[in-house]
Amino acid sequence: MKKALLVISFGTSYAKTRQKNIESCEKQLAAAFPGRDFFRAFTSGMIIRKLKERDNLHIHNPEEALRHLYELGYEDVAIQSLHVINGDEYEKIVGQVENYRPFFRSVCIGKPLLSSFEDYSQLITALYYQIPELKEDERVVFMGHGATHHAFSAYACLDHMMTNSGFPGRVGAVESYPEIELLIKGLKAEKIRKVHLMPLMLVAGDHAINDMASDEEDSWKTQLQQVGIEATPWLQGMGENNMIRQMFVEHLAQAINTLESYP
């Protein structure tokens, strides 16, 4: 029986960032499941089109990838999402997979990064190993993407767990709650002098470069500096963190083991 590994991410148009983050995750997953042939898909149509037009690089979307696997004769497909939360993008993948499930003998999907209480605790530990040494009046501020989906609450949950565990960091979201204004209020109350800005995203793409680290008047760096808090951006996606990559491996292993236990 031909077995495939399909790794699905939002994607990025930045080549170096893709190599450091997405490809690093893909390689770690491929190494963990050597009996499967590796395939890739992106969920962002905009990025897929940009890569095709600019670089002549063709990336399948999930439906195209599944159709391609069926045409190649694969019967067992293990899929891992590289998304952070169980939001719209992940639900879209699940729906597309269900449409193609009848074409395969076996299909399973590994869950996104933050899918259980243990995931939150594990992520906090992983993030601890990538932050710089901090003084008492310094903090790390992580920028999440945010969502209109109800899963946006994952960012506030992670922020609360960091605070409750004594982790010297805060979590905000660029497109939902918690907003940067709320974080600034808390940082000022704590008399924080300096923050280190890091993406809570798989890749350090447009949001990290423009909304977090740029000199634009509405960037997080600028807003922090305007209230007297020094801000140092770190353009490092979570895909560069080996412990986070391993979380995706564990999620897929759980999905495969569950499927094998209950065929």
The residues annotated as belonging to the active site are: 145
Tell whether residue 91 is among the known ligand binding residues.
yes
Tell whether residue 240 is among the known ligand binding residues.
no
Which residue(s) pair with 199 in the sheet? 143
Tell whether residue 175 is among the known ligand binding residues.
yes
The neighbour count for residue 216, using CB atoms within 10 Å, is 12
Tell whether residue 83 is among the known ligand binding residues.
no
In the sheet with 169-173, reading across from the earlier edge strand, the strands are 169-173, 138-144, 194-199, 230-233
As a whole number of angstroms, the distance between CA 87 and CA 32 comes to 26
Tell whether residue 166 is among the known ligand binding residues.
no
Tell whether residue 42 is among the known ligand binding residues.
no
CA torsion sign, 33 to 30 to 124 to 109?
Answer: negative
Q: 3-state DSSP call for residue 171?
A: strand
Q: b vs e for 230-243, b when ≥16 Cβ sit within 10 Å of the residue's Cβ?
A: ebebbbbbbbbbee
Nearest to 93 by CA among 109, 71, 77: 109
Tell whether residue 202 is among the known ligand binding residues.
yes
Tell whether residue 128 is among the known ligand binding residues.
no
Tell whether residue 203 is among the known ligand binding residues.
yes
Residue ranges of the binding site for Co(2+)? 10, 145, 175, 207
Residue ranges of the binding site? 10, 85-92, 145, 175, 202-203, 207
Residue ranges of the binding site for substrate? 85-92, 202-203
